[in-house]
Amino acid sequence: MKAEPGDSYLDEKSIKSWLLTRDHKRIGILFFVATGLALVLGGVFALILRLELLTPRATLVGQTAYNRLFTLHGVTMVWLFLIPSIPAAFGNFLLPIMIGARDVAFPRLNLASFYIYLLGAIVTLAGMFVGGTDTGWTFYVPYSSETHTSVFPVLLGVFILGWSTIITGVNFITTVHTMRTKGMKLFDMPLFVWTIYGTSIIQVLATPVLAITLSLAGIDAVFNWGIFDPARGGDPVLYQHLFWFYSHPAVYIMILPAMGVISEVVCTFSHKNPLSYKAIAISTFGIAFVGFLTWGHHMFTAGMSAFDAGAFGVLSMLVAIFSAIKVFTWVGTMYRGSISLETPMLYVLAFLFLFVFGGMTGVAVATMSLDVHWHDTYFVVAHFHFIMVGGSLTAYLAALHYWFPKVTGKMYREKWAFPAALLVFGGFVITFVPQFLLGNMGMPRRYANYPEHMQTLHTISTAGSWALLGGLGMTLINILWAVRYGRQASPNPWWSASYEWYTANPPPKHNWVGSPSFERGCYDYTQSAPDPRGSVSVAAPPNLSQEVVSG
């Protein structure tokens, strides 16, 4: 069969065609499947942890196993899921399409990035399963150089994962600068592209510091150089500075792409231009830049000077200002829109609730004197789960539902997806709101045993985790079912003006037939669009200056 330019990228079915693909869309799907497995794995660890915490004493698993499990949970979720999920899966799939490109700038590197990720993931997981690493995902010295469990393979694994991150970042930055279709200026780009671009810059700038830090910790653990060993003139707090210099910006690697997803979904489902395109685009860089200057707020109780603490505190609050600009703009975008409350939009509402709530508790923990009480307690655990799970995971689910028809050409069942989203939201709130209160009570993190008067709140939290599991399970079933049996999606099911909907569902092999040029803005809803639903001839939004071949 001779390949036609309009053939779907999914037409080739052989396994080899998937494993050796250089198509950014397929690589995006490979990343999606791999990170999805990591999510499932990390979720299972979380459920076991929550089950253990039903009772004040270590019962289900012992202290040793508990310490290994929270390490597994943290490492899997942070390094294997949150950091690569949205940029490497959705970013890979959508970024070239959104800027009218045929692929990323370096397709082979893109595939290499995936295999490096896979290698890193295997080394990390194998290291933890075989070696029983129990340091937590932060690998704090001197514990990580003194523990009898093996730390080096995990450090090596995360080090390898960092390469994958850097390569993807370099690839995206180059793509954005060199591959935009003719006539598209930087400020014509969709907002999702802006956030992926900002994320990539953080990845390229910060990840090398992580590599240095992990190398030093690895050298300390294996060759016993004593870089962080105070008995030999080393400094354990230096490790924390280096580690958070990467890992705090890493939080923005996790949340910025989520913000990009929200910007897209809120405009499409409100059928409206963003209240201020520039505010959203530029605040992204505000967060990316200031995010590099806030790492010290992880160390308010490590004995830092009041002056340092004050500086880190006020800079941390600045991040909240930039985030607030985004939030105001999203809410303002809905004003006078034509809002359709379908599953992706429901996730946006959940995101708004959880992100604003979680972000504001971030301001609370940035207030130095309050953090003294909350640091390393469940308050902080709840705070970052509100941002990571309530923010990133919710946006990830919004993206999954929003772009599902784009990726597969099929449609999931709204009757399953909507209640699943409600269950995810409800389960999340029940799981993590009690954890704020536990933190207030003084429940420290990473505790297999806890005082008996804290049991009630722990029980509620565990119950919530099962509701959350129910919601995510429903979503998984719905998605798997739709991949196989879903009905054909209409070309532009959400009536979106965004550029990715100009091409067919699923897109052709090289995204576009010919080189597109977009005359209409991607958030321009002031012109009427012909009904795209169900009719192939009007598959694309209007004013598309190329002939669209679809189906």
Partner 1 sequence: MNVDQWLRELLFLPEAATEFADGIDQLHFFVISVTMLGSAAVFMAALWFVIRYRRRAEPGTTPAVKASKPLEFSLIALLLSLFILWWVIGFFQYIGYATPPRGAEEVYVTGKQWMWKFSYPDGRASVGVLVVPVDRDVRLILTSRDVIHSFYAPAFRLKQDALPGRYTTAWFRAREQGVFDVYCAEYCGVSHSRMWASVVVLKGADYERWLEGDEPQLVADATTRAAVEGYEFQRVGQQASSMAEEGRKAASENGCFACHTIDGQPHIGPTWQNLYGRTVSLNDGTKVVADEEYLTRSMMEPLQQVVDGFQPVMPTYLGTLSQPQAAAIVEFIKSLKDVPPKPKVALPQASVTTREPQLLDEGAAPAIEYAATRPATAERDGEPARAERKAATGTQTASEHPTDAGKEGER
Exactly one of 134, 220, 264, 500 binds partner 1 (CB under 8 A); that residue is 134
Tokens of 64: 């040793």
Q: How far is CA 398 from CA 94, 266, 468, in A?
A: 14, 10, 16
Pull the structure tokens for residue 393. 């995971």
Q: How far is the CB of 331 from partner 1 (least distance, A)?
A: 5
- Amino acid at site 511: N
Q: Which positions from 439 through 458 interact with partner 1, judged by CB under 8 A?
A: 440-442, 444-451, 457
Q: Quote the DSSP letter at residue 181.
A: P
Here the tokens at position 206 are 């910060």
Question: Is residue 154 a contact residue for partner 1 (CB under 8 A)?
Answer: no
Distances (CA, A) of 155 to 146, 170, 391, 403: 15, 23, 27, 35
Taking CB under 8 A as the rule, does residue 302 contact partner 1? Answer: yes
Question: Which listed range, 79-87, 140-148, 466-474, 507-515, lies at the site for partner 1 (CB under 8 A)?
Answer: 140-148
Q: What are the structure tokens assigned to 267, written together? A: 């405009």
CB-based contacts of 14: which residues, under 8 Å, 6+ apart?
none
**Minimum distance from CB of 241 to partner 1 (Å)?**
13
Q: Is 543 in the site for partner 1 (CB under 8 A)?
A: no
**177 or 278, CB closer to partner 1?**
278
Contacts of partner 1 in 399-438 (CB under 8 A): 437-438
Which of 325, 421, 479, 539 is in the footprint of partner 1 by CB under 8 A? 325
Six-digit token pair at 390?
């309530």
| Beta carbons within 8 Å of 207's beta carbon, 6+ residues apart | 162, 165, 166, 169, 246
**Chain Cα centroid distance, residue 332:** 24
Residues between 45 and 104 that touch partner 1 (CB under 8 A): 58, 63-64, 66-67
**Using the rule CB under 8 A, which residue among 211, 282, 370, 538 binds partner 1?**
370
Asked if residue 272 binds partner 1 (CB under 8 A), the reply is yes
Residues binding partner 1: number (CB under 8 A):
97
Stretch of 16-24, 163-171, 179-187, 522-530 lying at the interface with partner 1 (CB under 8 A): 522-530
The bridge status of strand 410-411 relative to strand 487-488 is antiparallel
Cβ atoms of 345 and 334 closer than 8 Å = no
Q: Which of residues 163-192 bind partner 1 (CB under 8 A)?
A: none
**343 touches partner 1 (CB under 8 A):** no
CB-nearer residue toward partner 1: 170 or 311: 311
Whichever of 317 and 422 has its CB closer to partner 1, that residue is: 317
Among 8, 174, 215, 276, indicate the residue that binds partner 1 (CB under 8 A): 276
524 binds partner 1 (CB under 8 A): yes
Buried b (16+ CB within 10 A) or exposed e, 136-150: bbbbebbebbebebb
| 399: nearest Cα among 36, 145, 14 | 36
Q: What is the footprint of partner 1 within residues 252-271 (CB under 8 A)?
A: 270-271
